Chains A and B, each alone.
Chain A
Amino acid sequence: MIRVAALAGLLLNVPAPGVAVAETMRATGGLGVVVERASGSLVIVDRIAREAIGRVEGLGDLSHASVKFSPDERYAYVFGRDGGLTKVDLLEEAVVAREMQSGNAIGGAISDDGSLVAVANYEPGGVRVFDADTLEMRADIPTAAKVVGLVDMPGNRFVFSLWDAGEIWIADFSGGAEPQITVLADVGANPYDALITEDGRYYIAGLFGEDGLVLVDLWEEEPRARRILDGYGRGEEPLPVYKMPHLEGWAEAGGRFALPAVGRHEVLWLDSQSFEEAGRTKTHGQPVFAVARPDGRQVWVNFAPPGNDTIEVVDTVSGEVIETLVPGPGVLHMEFAPRGREVWMSVRDENRVEIYDTRSFEKLGEIAAESPSGIFFTARAHRMGL
Chain B
Amino acid sequence: MSDLASLVVAGVLGVIGVVADGEAGAEIAPQRAQALEHMVRQDCGSCHGLSLSGGLGPDIRGRAIEGLETRALVEVILDGRPGTAMPAWRPLLTEEEALWIVDYLRAAGSE
The docked-state distance in angstroms from the alpha carbon of A244 to that of B44 is 11
Q: Contact string, B76-95, partner A, CB cutoff 8 A, digits 1/0?
A: 00001001010111011000
Task: Say whether A330 contacts B42, CB under 8 Å.
Answer: yes
> Does B55 belong to the interface (CB within 8 Å)?
yes
| CB-based contact B85/A64 at 8 Å | no
Q: Is B24 an interface residue (CB 8 A)?
A: no
Question: A64 with B55: in contact, given A240-B91, A244-B46 (CB under 8 Å)?
Answer: yes
What are the interface flags for B38-51 relative to A under an 8 Å C-beta threshold, 1 for contact and 0 otherwise?
Answer: 11001101110111
Who on chain B is nearest to A239 by CB? B87
Contacts of B39 in A (CB 8 A): 305
> CA of A10 to CA of B74 in the docked complex: distance in angstroms?
79
A37-63 vs B, CB cutoff 8 Å, 1 = contact: the mask equals 110000000000000000000000101
A contact face: mostly helix, strand, loop, or mixed = loop
Does the CB pair A104–B43 fall under 8 Å?
no
Question: In the complex, what residues of A have CB within 8 A of residue B51's CB?
Answer: 61, 63, 82
Is A160 positioned at the interface, with any CB of B under 8 Å from its CB?
Answer: no
The interface bits of chain B over 44-62 (1 if a CB of A lies within 8 angstroms of the residue's CB, else 0) are 0111011101111000000
Given the interface contacts A240-B80, A244-B56, does A81 sit within 8 Å of B87 by beta carbon?
no
> What are the residues of chain A within 8 A of B42 when measuring CB–CB?
330, 348
CB distance from B83 to the nearest CB of A (A): 8
Partner of A104, one of B55, B83, B92: B55
Q: With the chains together, A88 CA to B88 CA distance in Å?
A: 40
Residue pair B56, A38 in contact (C-beta under 8 Å) = no
Contact of B50 among A63, A122, A192, A209 (CB under 8 A): A63
Q: How far is the CA of A146 from the CA of B92 in the complex (A)?
A: 29
Residues of A within 8 A of B43 (CB): 242-243, 305
Alpha-carbon distance A37/B42, docked complex (angstroms) = 10
Q: How far is the CB of B98 from chain A (nearest CB, A)?
A: 14
Chain A's closest residue to B91 (CB) is A240
> B-side binding surface: helix, strand, loop or mixed?
loop
B46 touches A243 (CB 8 A): yes
Q: Which residues of B contact A242 (CB under 8 A)?
A: 43, 87, 89, 92
- Given the contacts A208-B85, A243-B43, A330-B42, A106 and B55 also touching, CB distance less than 8 Å: yes
Taken together as a complex, chains A and B put the C-alpha atoms of A354 and B91 apart, in Å, by 30
B1-45 toward A: CB 8 Å interface, digit per residue (1/0)?
000000000000000000000000000000000000011001101
A303 contacts partner chain B, Cβ-Cβ < 8 Å:
no
Complex Cα distance, B85 from A38, in Å, reads 24
Contact residues in A for B47 (Cβ distance below 8 Å): 244
A139 contacts B by Cβ under 8 Å: no
B47 closest partner in A (C-beta): A244
Nearest Cβ on chain A to B60's Cβ, whole angstroms: 13
**A63 and B80 in contact, given A37-B50, A122-B56 (Cβ under 8 angstroms):** no
Chain A residues numbered 95-140 whose CB sits less than 8 Å from any CB in chain B: 104, 106, 122-123
Task: Give bound CA distance, A305 to B42, whole Å.
Answer: 10
Chain A hits for B49, CB < 8 A: 61, 63-64, 81, 104
Cβ of A104 to closest chain B Cβ, rounded Å: 6
Q: Which 6 pairs from chain A and chain B are nearest by CB?
A: A63-B50, A240-B87, A243-B46, A305-B43, A240-B88, A241-B87
14 further contact pairs, Cβ within 8 A, besides A64-B55, A82-B51: A61-B51, A63-B46, A63-B51, A104-B49, A104-B53, A106-B55, A123-B54, A192-B85, A240-B80, A242-B43, A242-B92, A244-B46, A305-B43, A330-B42
Q: 17 A-B Cβ contacts within 8 A?
A: A38-B50, A61-B49, A63-B49, A81-B49, A81-B55, A104-B53, A122-B55, A146-B56, A190-B85, A192-B56, A208-B85, A241-B87, A242-B87, A242-B92, A305-B43, A305-B92, A348-B42
